[in-house]
Structures are given as C-alpha cells and as structure tokens.
Structure 1
Amino acid sequence: MSSIKRAVPRPVSRRRVAAAGVFAAGALLLAACGSNDHDMKDKSHGGTSAPTASKEAGAKPAPGAFNDADVSFAQGMIPHHRQAVEMAELTEGRASDAEIKTLAAAIEKAQDPEIKTMRSWLKAWGKPESSEHNMPGMEHGSGGMDHGSGGMDGTAGMMSEKDMTDLKAAKGKDFDKKFAQMMIGHHNGAITMAKDEQKNGRNATAKKLAGDVIKNQAAEVDRMNKILDRI
C-alpha cells in the first residue's frame, strides 16, 4: 500500500511578512500623495472652484480692447437697468392696463440679462461695478417728471427717490399714466447713454449692446407714447 504524501506549506518567514507590509504601506502613501497633488493642481487651475459670475449668468466677457467710455457705459447702465426693472416690478398689483403689464414684463426680460452681461464685462476688465458717480445712496433725477438730463455718470433719465415713492403709491389708471411717463424719460436717458457709447466707446461688443438699447428702447418709447394717447 503506497503512502500518500501531502505537501506541507512552508511557513512564511516574519521578514517576508514585514517586507510585504512595508511595501503595501509605501504604495498607499504614494497613492495618497499622488491624489493630493492632483487635487492641488485642480484647485490651482480652478478645476474645483465655483463657476465665475460670467458663467453663472451665461454671459461672456466682451472680447477685444476697451477704453474708459466702455467702462463708464457699463458702470452707468447697470444701475440704470436695475431701476427700470424695479419700476417694471411695481406693475404687479398696481397696473390696470394690459399693454402696460405686457410692456413691463418685456422690460424685465430684456434688461435683467443685460445687467448680468455688463457685470461680466467689468469683472473681465478688472473694473469695479460702481463708479464714484453712481454709488448707492446718491440722489438721481430731478425730482419731477422732467427727466433725461445727465450723461455717462449713470443719472441720465434716472428717477429720484420721490419719483419712485410716487409711483409705488399710485394704482390703476393713475399708475399706468405715471409709469409710461416715467419710463419714457428713463428710456430716453438710456438712449442718450447708448449713443455716447457708440460715439466714444472702443469695444465692439459693448457698442453692439448700445445699438440694441437704442433700437429696442426707442421702439418702446413710441409704444408708450401711443399708450398715453389712449389712456
């Protein structure tokens, strides 16, 4: 009867176990370092940073050269557009004319994205959003219905605090009339600013937006004049 020989595994030496442990620990350390280095590189290039304001707004910085007139146009038009949007928002619960409501919605839809666009320009140009002429808290306008004076300092056609208070207090047909009158003056001020940009600006993208302002707001002025003749 033949005997069955079984292979008996050789005991693993403590030195081999220790060496394997050291190798594994070293591999893990290198992997961790590599991961940290990759993360740091991502952070340094903005790979994990929050999106910029221009990306959030869906707007692109205005390419090409620019001058002081381009900067002033953006700095002045941003608060100008903001006030137009604020006036348009006041129609909620106050306006009675359907065409006034439709016009206000169109103003909000057009000017809010333009605000974001011009903000992205100023950020790309390394310029502040507000100039010394249009800092918050400054009094704008003439305090009455005679608007449209001023220039590229952000005051052209801007309503005063009293104007805005009067508009907020109005309702129905009175609101419709005040809104149209004030927005005509406001739009005419924006058109003046846009014409100045087309004349003195250098950046092609900024000048194109100025052209859009002139075209669109002039059409809205004509429309509001017709509304005033009707109501």
Structure 2
Amino acid sequence: MAALALGSVTTAVAMGAQDDEWWPGRHMGGTAWTEPVGPVGATGHMRHMSHAFVDSEYGFLVEMIAHHEEAIDAAGELARSDRAEMRAFGERIVESQSAQVEQMEGWLDEWYADRSGEVDYDPMMRDLADLSGDELDEAFLIDMIGHHMGAVMMSQQLLVRDLADHADVERLAEDIRDEQRDEIRMMQRWLRDWFDTGWGMGFSANRGPGPRR
C-alpha cells in the first residue's frame, strides 16, 4: 500500500513539472530512501521519507505541524545570509508556515481534543547554526528541497487517497502542495545559478542511491 501510494504521489507531482531539468521524485521506483548528495557534505540531513506516509486527516495534521516547525527553525537561520533573496525567502517561510501551524493546531483542538497531538518526528534537515555565507545558503537549499518534497508528497497523498474529513484541510493540503512545489523550482534554479549544481534523488527498491544529475 505504501509503495503504491508513493508511486501515485510522485507521478502526480512530476506531471506538474515536466519542463524542469530535474524534478525530485520523478524517478522514484520503490520505498527505499536515499540522502541528497551535495558538495557541502549532505550526509544524514534527510533521514528518511517515512513522514511522507499519512493514513488519516489527524496523521496529516500532526506530521505537517512537526514538519513545518522544523522548516521554520531552519528558515530563521537565513537571517544571517549574505543574499537578500535568501533572507526574504526565510522570512516568507517563517510567516507562511507559522500561520499554517497555528491553523492546524486550532483544528486539532477543535476536532481531535481527545488525542495527544504528539508525533515521533525524526529531523530531515542538518543543523545550520555553524554555517555562514555560501555554505549556509547551499546547505539550506539542498536540505529544504528534500524537506519541501516531503510536504508535497504528504499533501498529495492526503488528496489522492481522499483522507481529508474536512474541506478546510483539503484546501490547506492543496495550498501547501502548490506553494512548496513552486518553491522547489525556485530553489533548483538558485542552486544552478549560484552554485552550478543541482539536487537529485534516486530511489530503487533493490539498490542504493542513484547518481546525482
């Protein structure tokens, strides 16, 4: 079931980006995970894609809150970036995702008050606190592309599998999917333009990481 859902999700995501040079997840063929490969030593920052598998509206909300909170913390580090574009992007993530977290927490209080709201979240991004300059920007972009891909997958899975019990949650999932898919494209362009590199992710049920393109 998980492999089937992942295939449906990544197909739907890729269909919206066929003009891109590389779309994360386009070539996923199984459930194994691999870390993004990058010139800044991107090891261990994308632990796994288990957060991308949701089986209920409640599960989507608690996972997405934890996922957003990690992104908010990482985006706050961009206040130290030398690039105005990155500082503005960090501010946008903090503002947008903080508002969405507040909205989702309100829904949990209203609809699922009898449940804990807790989730065992394994971080997907590395610690950026000691990085600066180009190293900070490149590490953030590499990590956040994979992080955004997880949110797109979760949102699309909720929609494709018709898991939402409330129209408000369905609309939020659509907003997250569309917003973060556009941001992935933007971050891919920045990696290419500023660092002459890209972000690739190869999945296979029987083998390890595929080559980065």
- Equivalent position of 2:182 in the other structure: 219
- Consecutive unaligned residues of structure 2, counting only runs of 5 or more, are 1-54, 195-213
- Equivalent position of 2:140 in the other structure: 179
Residue deviations 1:13-71 (CA, integer Å, cap 9, x gap): xxxxxxxxxxxxxxxxxxxxxxxxxxxxxxxxxxxxxxxxxxxxxxxxxxxxxxx7111
Q: Write the mapping of 1:1-231 to structure 2, written as runs, cut at 5 A.
A: 69-93=56-80, 95-125=81-111, 126-128=113-115, 130-131=117-118, 134-135=119-120, 140-141=122-123, 158-159=124-125, 163-164=126-127, 167-199=128-160, 200-231=163-194
Q: Aligned Cα RMSD in Å?
A: 1.5
Normalised TM-score (structure 1): 0.56
CA distance in 2, matches of 1:208, 1:116: 15
CA distance in 2, matches of 1:118, 1:183: 21
CA distance in 2, matches of 1:98, 1:230: 15
1:129 to partner: Cα distance: 5.3
Is the Cα–Cα contact under 8 Å of residues 108 and 117 in structure 2 kept in the other structure?
Answer: no
Residue deviations 1:145-170 (CA, integer Å, cap 9, x gap): xxxxxxxxxxxxx32xxx12xx2111
- Consecutive unaligned residues of structure 1, counting only runs of 5 or more, are 1-67, 142-157
Residue deviations 1:78-116 (CA, integer Å, cap 9, x gap): 0110111000101122x1122111111111111001000
1:180 to partner: Cα distance: 0.6
CA distance in 2, matches of 1:83, 1:177: 18
2:90 aligns to what SS in structure 1?
Answer: helix
1:202 to partner: Cα distance: 2.6
Question: Which structure carries more helix by proportion?
Answer: 1
CA distance in 2, matches of 1:98, 1:73: 33
Normalised TM-score (structure 2): 0.61
Is the Cα–Cα contact under 8 Å of residues 71 and 127 in structure 1 kept in the other structure?
Answer: no
2:78 aligns to what SS in structure 1?
Answer: coil
1:230 to partner: Cα distance: 1.4
The total of aligned residue pairs comes to 137
Structure possessing the higher relative contact order (Cα contacts under 8 Å, 6 or more residues apart): 2
1:127 to partner: Cα distance: 4.4
Structure 1 residues 129 and 196, CA gap change in structure 2 (3 angstroms): farther
| Percent identity for Structure 1 against Structure 2 | 28
